Amino acid sequence: MSVLLGVALFGPAALLVLDRRRTQQAGLGVAALWLVVGLVDSDATLGRFAAAGFPVAVGTWLLVASISWPATRAVTRLTVAAAGLAAAGGALAADRADAVGALALAAAVLVVAARLEADGALVPALVAVVGVALVALGARADGASTLVLLGGALAAGAAAWRARRAGVVLLPLVLLVTSLHPTLEWWHALVVGAAATVLAGRRPHVAGALWAVAAGALGAGALLLGATAVLLAAALHPALALTALPGLAVAVTAVADLHSRWSLVLAALAALTAVRLWRRPDDGALPGRPSDATVASVAIGAWLLLAPETWVSATALESWGTGALIAVVAGAVGAFLAASFTEATYEAPEVEVADPLYVERDPGWAWPASLASLAILAISGGALVASVVS
Amino acid sequence: MRPGHLDPAQNDVAEAVSAYRLMAAAAAVVLALAGRGSVLVLGGLLAVVAASRLASVSAVVAAVAVQLRWGTASLSAVAGGQAVLGPAVALGSTRAAAAMALAALTVALLAPRPAVLAVAVGVVAGAVAAGPEVPHDMGVRLAGAAAGTIVALAARWLPFRGPLALAAALLAVAAAA
């Protein structure tokens, strides 16, 4: 299995010669390879790289497959390079400093990609770099976990801000790094949750990413909610928000165990976010054949919704699979009866959503500011390395 | 095209959605009666049945309230607890009982206009309020289902049901926490 892990880690270098369309297809292939490696032997290692980080790699390469614009080779290559770094960072997550280092390198590569995209990507890239710099400062031996949380929220929000563009590949690794050491501070989760609520109306996938960060802060269902955030960013279909239910079940149990009145405020914010997120299932959906990345996202979402206990072991999910199985059988019988005795028709719902339009131009100050943020990132990374070495 | 006039394509979509709502309703009733699975699976199914912004969110929030009240997401544990200790609306502290009454009320307020969906929602509401595990206390179970169905059928004509359902669900969470 170590050989396959090596192929999954370093094989994507071959994607650097492909055009955008083939990169999308190959990205799905790499995601599938990571999934096989993780499911067959998640204990496999190759040097310091571990297959246990496969969820990050699968999410990262799924997001690569979802990117459909621009078609320039330079941006595609930079995206592949950043995705490879991010997937490697996930495989190095046993040591948080290594993972943060990979995150910093990927963020730096994506600044160049944002410059080449030339459609308003630089400001989100700048925010992401600043966020990663804060994560690096907070991840030092004597660092503050508040910095990790704040930086993680900034970086996750900025990565998810431009779905189906290069910067989005940073999202899975940011979510992982943020959740590695929960701060267990209520105000962290409340601030991030409030930001998610504000953004939920216009940027549902950003709200999903921020709630995953909030869950990471409280150590509650971060993996499951992170998966939902990635699926939302990849497919953009509002119905995929339903995949947050298993994560919610785990989070409710964990939050209830903390016995705080603040949980009520958090619940109200989560409900308000859901109200602002809600869309009709056919709202914005496109007729026709969905893209491969969307099909893969829906398939993974169905797996998450029907059998989350195969993702994580949690008491809140013990009876989930049984209920889902009964619901599927009962739903099928209900469908048969409805088809027999009513005029109801069954049509597969449209699941493809159009690419978002990003029409802004990069402001003049964005590029110099991005270079300055990269310098800050280098200093933060240096401080992190120094703290680890000493 | 004037508001209120559906073109055939839109009508097809509406029909397809209602078919899925029927399937979700059937699944929700079976889960509630069997007392198997997770309460949040039930909440998700009710959200599909409700198919509107506030009502769908309220369904999930009500499910969270039930999970908080019982300290478990298992419907089997919820039904088993009611079989041993009594109906949820008459069990424990006043606050805990109120939480389950509000959660059941929330579910009843989700009832869509079609009667078949309203009956399904009412049966689930009855299971939340008084749903001991079958075959224990069948009288209580039937009374709960009947009361839930009556409230759900009546609630279909209530104005501002969405905001009311969300308010009741949030109060249920506050009481259950």
B171-175 — which CB contacts under 8 Å span 24+ positions? B171/B102, B172/B61, B172/B62, B172/B65, B172/B99, B172/B100, B172/B102, B172/B103, B172/B106, B173/A264, B173/A267, B173/B61, B173/B64, B173/B65, B173/B68, B173/B99, B174/A264, B175/B65, B175/B95, B175/B96, B175/B98, B175/B99, B175/B102
Query: What integer pLDDT is reported at residue B13 of this predicted model?
Result: 40
- Residues contacting A297, CB < 8 A, separation 6+: A62, A66, A231, A234, A235, A237, A240
Helix%, strand%, coil% for chain A, nearest 5: 75, 0, 25
pLDDT, average across residues B123-140: 87
Question: What does the pLDDT look like over A14-61, one tens digit per residue?
Answer: 988 888 888 999 999 999 999 999 999 989 999 999 999 999 999 999
Flag whether B3 is in a domain.
no
Predicted pLDDT at A109: 96
In-domain check, residue B148: yes
Mutation target for B interface from A186, A253, A309, A322: give the one with most B CBs within 10 A: A322
The pLDDT assigned to B55 comes to: 93
**Can you give the pTM of this predicted structure?**
0.90
- Shortest Cα–Cα distance, A205 to chain B (Å): 17
Contact (CB, 8 A) for B24 and B49: yes
Ramachandran angles phi, psi of A313, nearest 5°: -95, 115
Number of structural domains in chain A: 1
pLDDT at B115 over 70: yes
Percent of all residues in chain A with a pLDDT value above 90, rounded to a whole number: 59
The answer to whether residue A143 scores a pLDDT higher than 90 is no
Tokens for B129, please give them. 């309020």
pLDDT of A106 reads: 96
Domain-embedded: residue A250 = yes
Least confident of A71-75, A150-154, A207-211: A71-75
- Crossing angle for the helix pair A186-199 and A262-277, nearest 10 degrees? 20
**Does A281 have pLDDT greater than 80?**
no
- CB-nearest to B44 from A242, A328, A339 is A242
Give the one of A319, A337, A347 whose C-beta lies nearest to B38's C-beta: A319
Structure confidence by residue, pLDDT tens digits, A79-103 = 999 999 999 999 999 888 899 999 9
Mean pLDDT over residues B22-51, rounded? 92
Residue A218 confidence (pLDDT): 87
Query: For residue B177, what pLDDT is reported?
Result: 82
* Residue A282 binned pLDDT confidence (cut-offs 50, 70, 90): low
Q: Is the pLDDT of residue B43 over 80?
A: yes
Using a CB-CB cut-off of 8 Å, the residues of chain A touching B74 are 318-319
Please report whether residue A365 resides in a domain.
Answer: no
pLDDT of B6 higher than 60:
no
CB of B46 closer than 8 Å to CB of B154: no
C-alpha count within 13 angstroms, C-beta hemisphere, residue A11: 16
Indicate whether A314 belongs to any domain.
Answer: yes
pLDDT band at B5 (very low <50, low <70, confident <90, very high): very low
The domain containing residue B53 runs over which residues? 8-176
Identity of residue A214: A
Q: What is the reported pLDDT for A228?
A: 95
Is there a contact between A331 and B26 if contact means CB atoms under 8 Å apart? yes
A390 burial via Cβ count (<10 Å: 0-12, 13-18, 19+) = exposed
Asked if A271 lies within 8 A of B36 by C-beta distance, the reply is: no
Lowest-confidence region among A148-152, B137-141, B169-173:
B137-141
What values do phi and psi take at A194, rounded to 5? -65, -40
Which chain A residues contact residue B17 at CB under 8 A?
281-282
Domain count, chain B: 1
Q: Tokens at residue B19, please?
A: 């078919």
DSSP assignment letter at B38: B
Integer Cα distance of A24 and A122 in angstroms: 23
**In-domain check, residue A163:** yes
What is the overall mean pLDDT for chain B? 86
pLDDT higher than 60, residue B18? yes
Say whether pLDDT at B2 is over 70. Answer: no
**Is the pLDDT at A307 greater than 90, yes or no?**
yes
Q: How confident is the model at residue B16 (pLDDT cuts 50, 70, 90)?
A: very low
Contact A334 B25 (CB under 8 A): yes
| A287 contacts A299 by C-beta, under 8 angstroms | no
Q: Which chain A residue's Cα is nearest to B28?
A: A327
Asked whether residue B49 is assigned to any structural domain, the reply reads yes
Does residue A242 sit at the B interface (CB-CB below 8 Å)? yes
3-state DSSP of A83-129: HHHHHHHHHCCCCHHHHHHHHHHHHHHHHHHHHHHCCCCHHHHHHHH
Q: Which of A209, A228, A237, A210 is nearest to A350 (CA)?
A: A237
**Partner A contacted by B169 (CB < 8 A):** yes
Read off the pLDDT of each residue in A144-166 and give the average, rounded to a whole number: 92
Selecting from A271, A324, A344 the residue whose C-beta is nearest the C-beta of B19 gives: A344
| A330 vs B26, B169, B170: nearest CB | B26
Residue B8 is predicted with a pLDDT of 38
- Which candidate from B37, B53, B64 shows the least CB-CB separation from A324? B37
Do the domain assignments include residue A363?
Answer: no
Nearest-Cα distance to chain A for B24, in Å, is 6
Q: pLDDT category, A273, cuts 50, 70, 90?
A: very high
Say yes or no for a CB contact (<8 Å) between B72 and A316: yes
Residue A303 pLDDT greater than 50, yes or no: yes
- ipTM for the predicted complex comes to 0.86
Task: Please give the average per-residue pLDDT across A252-276, as a whole number.
Answer: 87
Nearest CA in chain B to A247: B40
What is the model's pLDDT at position B12?
A: 40
3-state secondary structure of B31: helix
The residue to which tokens 């962290």 are assigned: A188
CA-based nearest distance B47→chain A, Å = 9
Q: In the predicted model, is pLDDT for residue B140 greater than 90?
A: no
Comparing CB atoms, the residue among B26, B43, B60 nearest residue A333 is B26
Residue B102, in any domain of the structure:
yes
User: What's the confidence (pLDDT) of residue A335?
Assistant: 85
Q: Which residues of A touch B171 (CB under 8 A)?
A: none
What does the pLDDT read at residue A357? Answer: 80
What confidence category does residue A254 fall into, taking pLDDT thresholds of 50, 70 and 90?
confident
Q: State residue B11's pLDDT score.
A: 41
Give every CB contact of residue A257 below 8 A, 6+ residues apart in sequence. none
Closest-approach residue (CA) in chain B for A322: B37
CB B37 to CB A275 under 8 A? no
Q: Tell me the residue range of the domain where A153 lies.
A: 2-352+370-389
Q: Quick check: A317 contacting B, CB < 8 Å? A: yes
